[in-house]
Amino acid sequence: MSDVLLASSRHAVPVDAVTPDGLASLIGRAAQWAGASGFKAAAGSVLLVPGEGDALGSVLLGLGGGAADRFAAGRLAATLPAGTYRLRDGFGDPALAALAFVLGTYRFTRYRPVEDAGVRLVRPDGVDRDAVLRAAEAVRIARDLINTPANDLGPAELAEAAAGIGRRHGAAIRIVEGSDLERDFPMIHAVGAAATPARAPRLVDIAWGDPALPKVTLVGKGVCFDTGGLDIKPSSGMLLMKKDMGGAANILGLAHMVMDAGLPVNLRILIPAVENAISGPAFRPGDVLRSRKGITVEIGNTDAEGRLVLADALALAAEESPDLVIDLATLTGAARVALGPEVVPFYTRDDALAADLAGHGEAEADPLWRLPLWAPYRTMLDSKVADINNAGSAPFAGSITAALFLARFVPETTRWFHADIYGWNPSARPGRPEGGEAQAIRALYGLLAQRYPR
């Protein structure tokens, strides 16, 4: 994507964003052409204004009459003819508009090559090109991983993708598997035990930065495919389960931003990489698993596996008393029922952290919404034979009870943030094509950059 955003260019076609009310302020050829063409500045509409001879003179992008999509510039990359362009008026936040433009050029090309459309953008004045490209690369990492089907992205391949990003930035990499995994991370092992040997479970542990700096640990759910286990999903429920490692994919995108920017932190990345398959060794409803933390867990539903692998990873993360723990996971359908696919529900015990993050989400057009860790709902996770059940006893508050389950494995003294992401665009929007998506990571990077400035 770096070749899409140019540092400079002597010749670039100007692009103006206009609302219906703003049409009256157009002058010259743009005004004449808009009137003659019946251009109404509807949201996402694009008008090519001719210049001298056969040259393109300028472009108008309609914003519509309501609240404008702050990613509207992403529409341009898929609409404009080959050429070099510059954003001129009406785009509000130039950096966000430039990012939207670049992300609008994204295509998943692993299985079907797509010809480069040849559309380029000149970096807007005052915009940090490196910062835009850093965010774009993070989003590309997440999208590419999520879009890759499970036959080509199992636990081994996810671990190698994570290690590749670590090596790119000079990080130390450790992979825990086999008997070591079974001994030290029994719930990660149990969830992945039914997979074939080639798709055996593992824990990816990556360390980067000066150990003397504040410790920030990122944890991502890496369930490369989820059949539901013995509580098997219907066919319709499995169609998108290649994206059940979306938490890991997004964590790797966020980690790339942190390392590429050189934020002054001691970064740790933990990814439990598993496949929730069905075979003789599969864990069963009614089994009781002993976690790394020593908490015993009754299995109420084998399709609530993500919280099990996260729990062991979070227990490891908390052992170092880090300054901040962040986990991302495609955890519950209840989150989508509550907030839909675009808004990410998040949980934290830290009110100041929640307020800061909400502000960064708004600034980055990366929407998040805090939901409560409602303590009375803990009784829904009660077990008669173990310390806790992995599935709620009632069909209510599924995202909250999942967060409460995770909270049992994170000490009250640990500053912790959990987001229940979807990681997918059900339909295309400007700058956000249908398919795998990065969620919450641009807001989280903004938070980290503020808390740990260079």
Tell me: do 119 and 209 sit in the same domain: no
In this prediction the pTM is 0.97
Tell me: do 110 and 165 sit in the same domain: no
Domain end among 68, 103, 127: 127
Tell me: do 116 and 163 sit in the same domain: no
Task: Pick out the chain residues at pLDDT < 70.
Answer: none
Tell me: do 251 and 168 sit in the same domain: yes
Overall domain count for the chain:
2
Reading the block at residue 1, the tokens are 């994507």
Q: Could you say which of 143, 293, 307, 442 is catalytic? A: 307
Tell me: do 385 and 418 sit in the same domain: yes
Structural domain of 99: 5-127
Q: What's residue 2's pLDDT?
A: 80
Q: Could you say which of 29, 233, 349, 370 is catalytic? A: 233
Q: CA distances (Å), 43 to each of 36, 46, 101, 293, in order? A: 19, 9, 16, 52
pLDDT tens readout for residues 17-76: 999 999 999 999 999 999 999 999 999 999 999 998 889 999 999 999 988 899 999 999
Q: CATH no. for residue 111? A: 3.40.220.10
CA distance 24 to 81: 26
Reading the block at residue 42, the tokens are 């509807």
CA distance 227 to 237: 8
Tell me: do 330 and 246 sit in the same domain: yes
44: left (phi over 0), alpha (psi -120 to 50) or beta: left
Strand partners, 271: 204
Q: What's residue 68's pLDDT?
A: 86
Tell me: do 246 and 309 sit in the same domain: yes
Judge whether 233 counts as a catalytic residue.
Answer: yes
Tell me: do 194 and 89 sit in the same domain: no
Judge whether 174 counts as a catalytic residue.
Answer: no
Contact 435, 108 (CB under 8 A): yes
Q: CATH no. for residue 183? A: 3.40.630.10
CA 17 to chain centre: 28
Reading the block at residue 411, the tokens are 């000490």
Tell me: do 45 and 174 sit in the same domain: no
pLDDT tens readout for residues 187-211: 999 999 999 999 999 999 999 999 9
Tell me: do 258 and 175 sit in the same domain: yes
Domain end among 127, 145, 180: 127
Environment class of 108 (CB within 10 Å of its CB; exposed 0-12, middle 13-18, buried 19+): middle
Tell me: do 291 and 308 sit in the same domain: yes
Long-range CB contacts (< 8 A, 24+ apart) of 234-243? Answer: 240/424, 241/150, 242/146, 242/147, 242/148, 242/149, 242/150, 242/153, 243/146, 243/330, 243/423, 243/424, 243/436
Domain end among 127, 161, 192: 127
> DSSP character for 229?
T
Tell me: do 87 and 158 sit in the same domain: no
